[in-house]
Structure 1
Amino acid sequence: MLTLDYHILICVFFLIKLRFFPPHSFDRAFLRVLGSFSARMRMRMRSRSNSSDAGGTSPNLLQDQSSRSAGQGWLKGKFPKLFRSQAGPTGTAGVGGSAITDGQQIHEEEPPVVIPTFEQNLEDRNLREAVQLLIEQEQRLFGEIRESVALKCHEEEVKKLATDREALEELVFQTLEKSLEIDGDNMAAALRSAVEAVQLEEQQDQLWRQNQRTSPSWRPSGWRKRHDSTLRRLVERRLDNEEDQKTPNNQQSTLQADVQGMGRQLKEDLLLVVKVLKSCYPPDMDICNLYARMFHQSFSARLKKIADYVLEDKDGTLLLLWVNKYYPGILQKPELVNEIDAEALGKLLPEHLLEPLEEQFLSNQQSELKTNLDNILKEEKEKWTNGDEPSREDNCYVSPVAYDVIVLLNGRVTSAQMIVGDQQKAQSITVQLTDFMKQYKTFQEDVIKQNRANSKSLIKATLDCIQQFSDVLVKKKLPLAENVRESCLCVLTDMRQSAHAYLLNPIHKVLKPHYQKLGTSDWLKKNPFEKLMISVKKELEDLQGSSPSCHQELMGRLHQEVTEQYVRRLLKGDVKLKDREKQQNAYQTITDNAESLHKLFSSMGSQEDWLKEILIKIAEVLKLQDVPAIQMQIVSLGSAYPDLSEKHVSALLKLKTNLSKTDRKNVKETLVDTLKETSADYDTRPFFCRIEIK
């Protein structure tokens, strides 16, 4: 055959090259081509020899070709010359021959280049090389096939190729099915080779799709599609096996054991994919996200089946935890976070299945929270009913109510947010806090109304609770809905006012006789005010026992109320300041009194320094004689305290009996104009609005 003659010419060319060129310059790459070519020729000759033996009519292909070549005569007598020894001055011969040295013949042979056969590649798990050989054979065979007659000539080779492909395909996909069982470099190398084989097959499928000739029966092979389906089955099997092998312990239900087992297997396998399998795949296959999608879909399908059934509370909570905490936590592991697109995966369960689970969970949380809050208040009531005094820390009465409630709410809302994965949904359970605050207020009213021996100490302890609640609500340290926050703050404000009134009203009753002498003629003699101060000091001792911040606030409240009583009695008094001297005397008395009040209450913790300034500004009005100066002082007072009214100014100016009615009118008009411009711009503490002038 011509093909065989052509091959013999190539062999002759190499024999000549061996004769005239040294071994180190020999082209090894070309030798490999020659070896591969020879291997194919041997395969063809074996095939034809087998065909001849079966039929009993055809001679051996190699013998037939050799006899024809010999008959042509053009190679006759050439081979001996090619191999004849031609020793030079150094006594060396060509490659593959022998050298004569000192009369001795030394044989030096180049080691033969061994090209692995398909069977050897298959045995060694060199799957890429094996598929490459079959593709080359496929290209040769089907490249030669033009007509159906030619196909019959290659029928045996095509059958052999198909058989080899089946063996190779089986081994490739056996290797892929064990992808998640890699425990050594050899298995990783085999997987890498299998992946490359799949890629080569995919490329060959693409070539045949573009070719107009009749393709082999196995094209397209669809190995890439089968690769994906194989991995999908592998993932299903991994989760199935993990589910079947898990047995619940004493604290777990069967469902909990199954779900946790599958989740654990998912985490371990994804870590294996990132750490090991990723290196066996090309980047374009994005194997990490491929596996992540498959595990996500499989795990999600199992959870959907579970969610379709009516679940116990703890089972529903477990599903929510896996959807919103455990599973996202796995994907956020440092090893996985940069390899897997968690956002593209989405949630494990759809909204229509999550909503009933969330509603069931949140409803239970509300019920449990209400029970816990009721128990906290119930315990406080029992202590008070039994006559117990609140405990003391650093000589201050304290109550555990606020601390217990704040810790409870923080824990419940934080836990709920973690389980449902949404802060607003989690905050919905805090609606119970509004009812609790109202009950707490009702309880405080009962304590005040019954006024038992331990009521005053409990109210002092309650003030500290009110302060703690207010701090966390104002600073938004508690995760509450805004409407709940505002409602609770309103209740706390009422409770604080009520507690202050309960503690301070008895003091004002004692001080009332002293208040009544303010604004009278005796007042200017200082005796009434000095007696007032003595009584205040004595009564302040009974207000000890609140926490430092609450005591400071209570002292500030009393400081303001005493100052209000002072101004009220002054404006309602019957003292007449007819001339400059009496007005100057009143000015000095008021400023001295302001300083005394300031020193006393500051020493007790009050921070209300502004109260002193009010009295001084009032005293300045009484001292001034010029109307314009009086107008300026009233403007200053009205600007600082916009709740100053015309009635207040009128009552103050009436003390200055030497001021005409017209002058008083002008001063009041100046105040009105000032208030129109400034009242909307000030947000000051109320003072004059608490002093009613008829």
Structure 2
Amino acid sequence: MFKMGEKAEEGSRTWVKLTGRFGKKLRQQDPKTEEADSDRSDSPEEAGRRLSVREEELLSRVQPDQEGEDLLCRDLELLKLQILTTVRRSFAGDPDADLASAVAVLRQQETLDRHREGGGCRWRPLKCLGAHNALLADVAEFRLAEAARDADRDGAGGLSTPLKRQVCGAGKRVKEDLLRCARTLQPCYDPDLDVLNIYAGLCHQSFAARLSDAVQAGPDVDECAYLLFWVNTFYPREILKHEELRGKLKSDCLGALLPREQVRQLEERVAKNKEERLCSWLHKVLQREEENWSGGKMPEVIDDFFFCPLAVDVIQVIDGSLADSDYFSGGDRTDSRWIAAHLENFLLSYKKSLEKLSQGNDEHATTWMKAHLACQEQLRDYVGRRAEDQPGSQESGRCEAILDELRDFVSVAFTRPIHEHLKVYYRQLWTPGWCDGSLPVMDSLLEVLFHVLDQQLTHLKASCKQSLTRTFRRELEVEYARRMTKSRLKGEQDWAAAARRMLDDARKMDDFFRVAGCDESRCFGQMPVNVEAPHLGSIRKDMLAFARKFLDFRCKLSDPASSTIVGGAEEVLTPTDRKLTLFFGPKARQWLRSRLSGNY
């Protein structure tokens, strides 16, 4: 036990501790203190009532009682210390059964302070509430300092640096204290005192000061990331929004843990480091792939198709960077834009590498291009999902555009040789021999196409093979339409026979590509051709409708210059025709013109 005058240091304040022997010494000094000693042996609430009675008696006397007032002043201070000691023990983790009683006396003394205001009582105001709040501030500061010190000493959580251990220890102490306050201490207080939010504000202030000092101490990049994790993620989510504090804690009133300038300082250091690491990782992924190409290695074979892990590696790198961003930023995805920008730069480099690879024009290059068809499909699906999660993202849109260009480039690399095999049959389309059936052009063309596809589209992923087949079908139909525009058939009978032959060819192509796995709808055979009364204008219009139906370009048209599609046919374009041509983009339109002119 402590004797009178002994003190216990805790935090920045000094607390006088009472002992049982203190009352015994008072009795030896003055027998008039027996009543006061009984006050100290009671609970705080009972002692407060007794002192209130003594105070009323002293104030009701005509002649002042100097000795009685001195004793009352001393006993009121001792009662105040008793209240604060009870509160301190309770908030320091040692629940005191007298806390509710001490809080009741605190409110009682506050009421008496207001009633005696200006009454000339030298023992008023006692200011118990102010001392109580100051005590809580010192308790919060002491407990956080103690937790930080203990965590650093004990190596809390296996964290690598003293700063991390101290922040972790102090932060977890805040969580423990707020939960204990909500569970056991708040019920002892009147609702209007709201001790939970008072103590939360004090803990928040102390913890914020520690974090600010840590930032000013110049943490390394890893420590900066850890501080951001506490500021943006763990503290607001796991502490302030804890389910037991929900509806009780006014977290919006606490403010930010760190000033915006310090948070920005941390974010810039972490983002710079993350960007450098992301660029390095993506560069190594592409570099390793290029080394495989140039080193003569062959791609892996999985489920009977060529495969390369580039897409898997890239997706893992990007997802890892996004997960880190969520971890440090609290999920606001502010870093997702620069991550998407780096992905865009990577895709541009990837596209250049594939263009260089395709120049090899040999079996080795073709094998790797087959592997990268599956790779591009994975990347396109991934970027598409991200675009759905972030609608309106310009970076995602540019990534999708690059992948579309890459898909078209690789598709042409596969379809161009096939067209070379079929050129001889293209020249026979829309000739008199084709029209009267003496040349079985479509039968011969599809027979050769079957063997070419069977030989050249091997070891492809099923979905990639289907996509290539679908692309080739569209190109074949464009070529068919181009030959139609160059036809020199004359007379109604010739055009009627050509229309019937065209519909017969359509049925054959539909059957062929259906067996090949092309699941597009049968639109070609539905082109409205009036074989009974054909004329040049209507045929040309039908040809344009045919071309518009089967071409699948994704870019938009900035100017509806539809007359450039087929020269000399502008007079047959209706407003509806012009709207349909909006599916053609500038590059697509230029490509179509070259197709129609035979320069491919």
| TM-score band w.r.t. shorter chain | 0.7 to 0.9
Specify the alignment match of 1:505 in structure 2. 416
Q: Which runs of 5+ in 2 are unaligned?
A: 1-26, 551-559
Q: In 1, distance between residues paired with 2:244 and 2:215? A: 30
C-alpha contact (below 8 Å) 1:317/1:419 kept by paired residues:
yes
C-alpha contact (below 8 Å) 2:228/2:263 kept by paired residues:
yes
Q: In 1, distance between residues paired with 2:61 and 2:306? A: 104
Matched, 1:127 2:36: no
Q: In 2, distance between residues paired with 1:632 and 1:448? A: 39
C-alpha contact (below 8 Å) 1:515/1:566 kept by paired residues:
yes
What's the C-alpha RMSD, in Å, of the aligned pairs? 3.0
Deviations 1:533-559 (A, max 9, x none): 211111111113322222111101111
1:120 Cα deviation from its structure 2 partner: 3.5
Matched, 1:167 2:84: no
Q: Secondary structure at the match of 2:596?
A: coil
Paired letter, 2:520: E
Matched, 1:228 2:127: no
Alignment counterpart, residue 603 of structure 1, candidates 515, 527, 536? 515
- Trace 1:234-245 onto structure 2 (pairs within 5 A): 234-245=139-150
Specify the alignment match of 1:298 in structure 2. 206
C-alpha contact (below 8 Å) 1:410/1:478 kept by paired residues:
no
Paired letter, 2:285: I
Alignment counterpart, residue 556 of structure 1, candidates 454, 470, 489? 470
Q: In 2, distance between residues paired with 1:195 and 1:459? A: 79
Matched, 1:260 2:168: yes
Specify the alignment match of 1:680 in structure 2. 579
Q: In 1, distance between residues paired with 2:243 and 2:166? A: 26
Matched, 1:200 2:124: no
1:489 Cα deviation from its structure 2 partner: 1.8
Deviations 1:273-306 (A, max 9, x none): 0111012111111011111101000000111111
Paired letter, 1:123: S
| CA separation of 1:627 and 1:319: change in aligned 2, threshold 3 A | closer
Alignment counterpart, residue 404 of structure 1, candidates 302, 313, 316? 313
Q: In 1, distance between residues paired with 2:536 and 2:355? A: 51
Q: In 1, distance between residues paired with 2:449 and 2:376? A: 26
Q: In 1, distance between residues paired with 2:318 and 2:525? A: 43
Deviations 1:595-651 (A, max 9, x none): 11111112112233355247x44xx25652479987996897699689874984868
1:457 Cα deviation from its structure 2 partner: 2.1
Deviates more, 1:194-203 or 1:251-260: 251-260
1:248 Cα deviation from its structure 2 partner: 6.0
C-alpha contact (below 8 Å) 1:519/1:571 kept by paired residues:
no
Q: Secondary structure at the match of 2:222?
A: helix
Paired letter, 1:538: H
C-alpha contact (below 8 Å) 1:552/1:606 kept by paired residues:
yes
C-alpha contact (below 8 Å) 1:390/1:458 kept by paired residues:
yes
C-alpha contact (below 8 Å) 2:39/2:51 kept by paired residues:
no
Matched, 1:475 2:385: yes
Q: Which runs of 5+ in 1 are unaligned?
A: 1-45, 52-115, 652-667
Q: In 1, distance between residues paired with 2:541 and 2:448? A: 37
1:338 Cα deviation from its structure 2 partner: 2.3
Alignment counterpart, residue 573 of structure 1, candidates 456, 463, 487? 487
Higher relative contact order (CA 8 A, sep 6+): 2
1:477 Cα deviation from its structure 2 partner: 5.5
- Trace 1:10-29 onto structure 2 (pairs within 5 A): none
Specify the alignment match of 1:77 in structure 2. none
Alignment length (residue pairs): 546
Q: In 1, distance between residues paired with 2:44 and 2:90? A: 15
Specify the alignment match of 1:527 in structure 2. 440
Specify the alignment match of 1:494 in structure 2. 405
- Trace 1:31-50 onto structure 2 (pairs within 5 A): none
1:323 Cα deviation from its structure 2 partner: 0.3
| CA separation of 1:118 and 1:599: change in aligned 2, threshold 3 A | farther
Deviations 1:15-60 (A, max 9, x none): xxxxxxxxxxxxxxxxxxxxxxxxxxxxxxx9xx979xxxxxxxxx
Q: In 2, distance between residues paired with 1:139 and 1:415? A: 67
1:471 Cα deviation from its structure 2 partner: 2.2
Matched, 1:346 2:255: yes
Specify the alignment match of 2:58 in structure 1. 141
Specify the alignment match of 2:344 in structure 1. 434
Q: In 2, distance between residues paired with 1:176 and 1:137? A: 25
Specify the alignment match of 2:555 in structure 1. none
| CA separation of 1:413 and 1:479: change in aligned 2, threshold 3 A | farther
Matched, 1:377 2:294: no
C-alpha contact (below 8 Å) 2:495/2:534 kept by paired residues:
no
Q: Secondary structure at the match of 1:178?
A: helix
Q: Secondary structure at the match of 1:417?
A: helix
Specify the alignment match of 1:665 in structure 2. none
Paired letter, 2:482: R
Alignment counterpart, residue 538 of structure 1, candidates 432, 440, 451? 451
Deviations 1:302-353 (A, max 9, x none): 1111111221011111111110111112122211222211121122111011
Specify the alignment match of 1:692 in structure 2. 596
1:684 Cα deviation from its structure 2 partner: 4.8
1:373 Cα deviation from its structure 2 partner: 0.9
Q: In 1, distance between residues paired with 2:580 and 2:40? A: 91
Specify the alignment match of 2:242 in structure 1. 333
Q: TM-score, length-normalised on structure 1?
A: 0.73
Q: In 2, distance between residues paired with 1:503 and 1:636? A: 27
Q: Secondary structure at the match of 1:198?
A: helix
Specify the alignment match of 2:524 in structure 1. 612
Q: In 2, distance between residues paired with 1:597 and 1:681? A: 24
| CA separation of 1:527 and 1:613: change in aligned 2, threshold 3 A | closer
1:354 Cα deviation from its structure 2 partner: 0.7
C-alpha contact (below 8 Å) 1:583/1:623 kept by paired residues:
no
Q: In 2, distance between residues paired with 1:383 and 1:629? A: 56
C-alpha contact (below 8 Å) 1:621/1:634 kept by paired residues:
no
Q: In 1, distance between residues paired with 2:133 and 2:189? A: 13
Q: In 2, distance between residues paired with 1:639 and 1:561? A: 12
Specify the alignment match of 2:371 in structure 1. 461
Q: TM-score, length-normalised on structure 2?
A: 0.84
Alignment counterpart, residue 178 of structure 1, candidates 72, 82, 89? 89
| CA separation of 1:387 and 1:220: change in aligned 2, threshold 3 A | same
1:514 Cα deviation from its structure 2 partner: 1.6
| CA separation of 1:259 and 1:412: change in aligned 2, threshold 3 A | same
Q: Secondary structure at the match of 1:545?
A: coil
Q: In 1, distance between residues paired with 2:205 and 2:224? A: 20
Alignment counterpart, residue 584 of structure 1, candidates 496, 517, 522? 496
Deviations 1:221-273 (A, max 9, x none): 11100100011111111111112223264642111111111112111111110
1:141 Cα deviation from its structure 2 partner: 0.9
Structure with larger Rg: 1
